[in-house]
Amino acid sequence: MSKQPLMMVPGPVCCSSSVLQALANQPLHPMDPQYVEVFQRVFKGMRKVFGAPNGQPVLLNGGGLLALESACASLLEPNDEVLVVDNGFFGKMFTQIIKCHVRHVTVLTAPLGERVTTEKVEEKLGKGRFRVLAFSHVETSSSVKAQIKELAATAQAHGALTIVDGVSAVGGETVEQEAWGVDLYCASTQKALAAPPGLTLLMLGPQALEALENRKTPVNGFYLDLRKWVDSMRSYEEGGPPRLVSTPSTNLVMALATALNDITTEGISNRVQRHRKIAEAMRSGLVAHGLALVPKHSSFFANTVTAAYAPERTQATHLVKQIAQQGVLIAPGIGEYRNQLVRIGHMGGVTMEDVKTTLSAVGQAINR
């Protein structure tokens, strides 16, 4: 069997042996008391990593895209006005999802490597009657991090709810959902949480729950209706019998429980600091190899992914292939920048040794 390559893509990431062992067990019945207890532990772990001690967790079978789709389908109503912060490819995708559910969408777009400022958001919110502000915590396509705390506070000041795409943030960035007043934070398992792909994670604050209860129009979808899922999650926390909407991916939940335990054992602040140091080392190494970073300012840098321009006269996809031949997997750009950028994920259990190995492979590929 050939050696497993070093995964340095922006997800999925490698999982620990304990997470893989949890995944490999025989499936439990979703009403089994043992599984109910595991589910309850997952809720506790989610509240810690999301920084939402009083939040309402929801788990669905799916990925990050389902998190955004279900959030928009459940919170938004056709006549709502929504303001979207678009810092890159996933900001544009978020916009497309929102347009499936509402008629009135305004988009603030930043050039590649920049981010929409809080001042621009505040100015726009002050001129409209926006019910929701939507944005990505970390824009995976450019590795630009939004001013989540400031944006959430600005939305609150103007009476708008916040829906945040935190897929590339939770588990590697500081997340204080409750303290910041983020109403609905969306994530999935396969990135900095270091669990297998396949689970959608959402954390709802009190304003989001109130919005669900007070909807005036039907949710456009059965599976997407978070009201059903909130009821199901609460039945698990009550100790059963669970009120099922659909059969959960029990093995994936078992693996997530182990991954969350790994995070809390390490300590969330320690984990964020480790991700920060690894990201700094990766950026420094790429610059030393002559690559220009995409984010235009150091305050934009993310802990979980780094995007850089491919060397002049070099296609990013070709460079990625050259690096893969040395046993390291990184990703090209996405969308219109596929052949201009390289993206390196450094999240989950990634170590400084992995950074050194990656930078060595990058250097050798460039020298070729």
Residues 71 and 204 in one domain: yes
1 is a domain residue = no
Same domain (yes/no): 213, 297: no
Strand 144-145 and strand 104-109: the pairing is: unpaired
- Looking at the domain assignment, is residue 210 inside a domain? yes
In a domain, 284, yes or no: yes
Count Cβ atoms below 10 Å from residue 108 Cβ, excluding itself.
18
CATH number of residue 132's parent domain: 3.40.640.10
Q: How far is CA 145 from CA 139, 221, 270, 321, in A?
A: 6, 32, 20, 27
Question: pLDDT for 335-360, tens place per residue?
Answer: 999 999 999 999 999 999 999 999 99
Q: Are residues 274 and 236 in the same domain?
A: no
Residues 280, 253: one domain? Answer: no
pLDDT single digits (tens) 309-341: 999 989 999 999 999 999 999 999 999 999 999
Q: What's the CA gap between 126 and 186, in Å, rounded?
A: 26
Q: Do 72 and 165 sit in the same domain of this protein? A: yes
Domain stops at, among 214, 239, 264: 264
284 and 220 share one domain: no
Q: Do 284 and 351 share a domain, yes or no?
A: yes
Of 213, 241, 264, the one marking the end of a domain is 264
Q: Is the peptide bond before 12 cis (omega within 30 degrees of 0)?
A: yes
Residues 149, 190, single domain; the answer is: yes
pLDDT one-digit tens code per residue, 96-117: 999 999 999 999 999 999 999 9
249, 264, 279 - which closes a domain:
264
| pLDDT for residue 2 is more than 60 | no
Is it the case that residue 1 has pLDDT exceeding 50?
A: no
Does the structure show a pLDDT above 90 at 57? Answer: yes
pTM attached to this predicted model: 0.97
Domain count, the chain: 2
